[in-house]
Chains A and B, each alone.
Chain A
Amino acid sequence: MTTSSYVINLDSREDRRNEFFSQTDLIGVKVERISAVHAEATKNSHSTPPGVAACWLSHQKALLRFLETDHNFALIFEDDAIFTTRAARFILEFDSYSKPEFDVLQIGYLDKRGKLDSGARDLHSHLKARINHLLQKIRVSLDSKIHKVGSELLIPDSFEAGTHAYICSRTMAQRLVKFNVPVVLAADLAFIQIARSKKYKYFRLSRSLIGQSDSVSSIHLRQTT
């Protein structure tokens, strides 16, 4: 079982590129850069705003690149991903872990719904996250079949907002490269709806290991340029 890693990054966002690669160099993870689709190229051909369509098409571009290789899994990042120490260990040891069969595994998502997860937590959201984590652990422990990767608990049939870090299987990538074109759903909404349909094996970690930086959103930039 081998995994290849990709990061989606607009040519114009050198700031994010530098920030992202400074982290992966420090961890020692090899990540291939995928030049993101620009909004200009998607204008008037999708029912979503151009930036949203460009984001989904960029994910498909990364998955297409993965399908050219002979790896089993693709680890897809967006360029605003912020790694924690736990994330570094998880990514480095992922291939050696025993894991349940899965199509998509989300390892980073937005903790605070609708807001960017900058990593800096106030007391209220910290307590809320701890309680949430405890409830998730109880929920998983009540489930007869506990899913784990390494020491991380998995929540089945779930995908939260945010597509900045997830792992995709080869078979699912083959399906996803044809899905949602013309773009109707934003990238994370597409994944959320597939997970909720329960036709495929979607999981997310019970806690997000990868946050998002609070740098200016590229989707906004793509809409205005």
Chain B
Amino acid sequence: MVKVYIFRENLKESSEFDSFKDLCKAHSFECAEVIFSFKEELDDFEIDRKILIDFLNNGVALALVLKEIPENPAVFIANLANFRRADQIDLLQFDPVRRRVFLDRNRVKFLVENQSVFLVRLLSLKFFDFLDKSANRFRLNQSNFVQRFKNRRIRVLNRSQAAIDFGRQFSRRSKFTSGQTEPGCKQYLISRTCAETLVEFDLENLLSSDMVFLGVSRAGNFRTGRLI
């Protein structure tokens, strides 16, 4: 079960907000409004902490925090309702990709976002079958180096395929990049395990909300990633 937290600016009427809330209810998601007064509050982790405390006091397995309403609300909520493997992740960012100024960075981003697809295609090449057969023929299979190489290839292949499958659980066109959360984390799904750690974290308020999530992702202690 997922509880959806939707942000709403204080004293602001919004038909977009109301229709999104109705959409969530239509798909049987439990909803909660989070009222904020200033845009700056969204960068303060204290507002996230309040949500996480409420979430932990609630019986649901996951919380979806939306500081911004998704671009295609109907599609997003329909995909979320069919998302069956959300329990395999601790922190999942949904924000759309922001294109940067530099062309080379976009190229890198394209490669990073599609790394699982490329790795699966590369490691499934017939060339590797040929290498396997040759290793068998010349009895190189017992060598530690060959064994390590084979095991590593299988491990990377399985991991990349799992990442592709995970992304497709949300929608056919979604891509999942493991551990690649980006600044500007305004739409995220969080597990109870991760929330339990974060409610106690940075009580001194040294970090912005973005840097908390980015730090947790870079630290590698939780299963994190981005879905685009």
| Interface residue ranges, A against B (CB under 8 Å) | 47-48, 175, 178-180, 182, 184-186, 189-190, 192-194, 196-200
Q: Tell me whether A178 and B204 are in contact (CB under 8 A).
A: yes
Bound together, the chains give a CA A179 to CA B206 distance in angstroms of 8
- Distance to closest chain B CB from A194 (angstroms): 5
Going nearest first, the 3 A-B pairs with the smallest beta carbon separation are A193-B215, A197-B208, A193-B211
Q: Tell me whether A47 and B200 are in contact (CB under 8 A).
A: no
Q: Tell me whether A194 and B211 are in contact (CB under 8 A).
A: yes
Q: How many A-B residue pairs have CB under 8 A?
A: 55
Please, could you name 9 A-B residue pairs with CB atoms under 8 Å apart, sorted by A? A48-B219, A179-B204, A179-B206, A184-B215, A189-B219, A193-B212, A196-B214, A197-B211, A199-B205
Contact of A194 among B197, B200, B206, B210 (CB under 8 A): B206
Taking CB atoms, residues of chain A closer than 8 Å to B215 are 184-185, 189-190, 192-193
Taking CB atoms, residues of chain B closer than 8 Å to A193 are 207, 211-212, 214-215
Tell me if B87 counts as interface (CB < 8 A to partner A).
Answer: no
Bound together, the chains give a CA A180 to CA B219 distance in angstroms of 12
Bound together, the chains give a CA A139 to CA B198 distance in angstroms of 36
Q: Tell me whether B219 and A194 are in contact (CB under 8 A).
A: no
How big is chain B's contact interface, by range? 20 to 34
Bound together, the chains give a CA A114 to CA B214 distance in angstroms of 18
Bound together, the chains give a CA A137 to CA B210 distance in angstroms of 28
Tell me if B118 counts as interface (CB < 8 A to partner A).
Answer: no
Given A186-B219, A197-B206, A180-B201 contact (CB < 8 Å): yes
Q: Tell me whether A184 and B201 are in contact (CB under 8 A).
A: yes
Tell me if B142 counts as interface (CB < 8 A to partner A).
Answer: no
Bound together, the chains give a CA A198 to CA B206 distance in angstroms of 9
| Interface residue ranges, B against A (CB under 8 Å) | 197-198, 200-208, 210-212, 214-216, 218-219, 221-222
Bound together, the chains give a CA A193 to CA B209 distance in angstroms of 10
Interface of A is mostly: loop
- Distance to closest chain B CB from A202 (angstroms): 11
Bound together, the chains give a CA A192 to CA B201 distance in angstroms of 16
- Distance to closest chain A CB from B221 (angstroms): 4
Other CB < 8 Å A-B pairs besides A179-B202, A198-B208, 10 of them? Answer: A47-B197, A48-B221, A184-B198, A184-B216, A184-B221, A185-B215, A193-B214, A194-B207, A194-B211, A197-B211
Taking CB atoms, residues of chain B closer than 8 Å to A180 are 201-202
Bound together, the chains give a CA A179 to CA B216 distance in angstroms of 14
Given A180-B201, A182-B200, A193-B214, A200-B219 contact (CB < 8 Å): no
Bound together, the chains give a CA A103 to CA B219 distance in angstroms of 23
Instruction: Considering the complex, give the chain B residue whose CB is closest to the CB of A175.
Output: B204
Q: Tell me whether B197 and A196 are in contact (CB under 8 A).
A: no
Q: Tell me whether A178 and B219 are in contact (CB under 8 A).
A: no
Taking CB atoms, residues of chain A closer than 8 Å to B205 are 199
Taking CB atoms, residues of chain B closer than 8 Å to A184 are 197-198, 201, 215-216, 219, 221
- Distance to closest chain B CB from A91 (angstroms): 27
- Distance to closest chain A CB from B43 (angstroms): 9
- Distance to closest chain B CB from A42 (angstroms): 14
Q: Tell me whether A178 and B203 are in contact (CB under 8 A).
A: yes
- Distance to closest chain B CB from A62 (angstroms): 18
- Distance to closest chain B CB from A197 (angstroms): 4
Bound together, the chains give a CA A200 to CA B208 distance in angstroms of 11
Q: Tell me whether B208 and A199 are in contact (CB under 8 A).
A: yes
Bound together, the chains give a CA A185 to CA B206 distance in angstroms of 13
Bound together, the chains give a CA A47 to CA B196 distance in angstroms of 11
Taking CB atoms, residues of chain B closer than 8 Å to A199 are 205-208
Bound together, the chains give a CA A197 to CA B197 distance in angstroms of 20
Taking CB atoms, residues of chain A closer than 8 Å to B203 are 178
Taking CB atoms, residues of chain A closer than 8 Å to B216 are 184-185
Taking CB atoms, residues of chain A closer than 8 Å to B208 are 196-199
Bound together, the chains give a CA A200 to CA B206 distance in angstroms of 8
Contact of A185 among B200, B204, B210, B219 (CB under 8 A): B219
Taking CB atoms, residues of chain A closer than 8 Å to B206 are 175, 179, 194, 197, 199-200
Q: Please indicate which of the listed interface residues A182, A190, A193 has the most CB atoms of chain B within 10 Å of its own CB.
A: A193
Taking CB atoms, residues of chain B closer than 8 Å to A192 are 215
- Distance to closest chain A CB from B197 (angstroms): 6
Bound together, the chains give a CA A179 to CA B202 distance in angstroms of 6
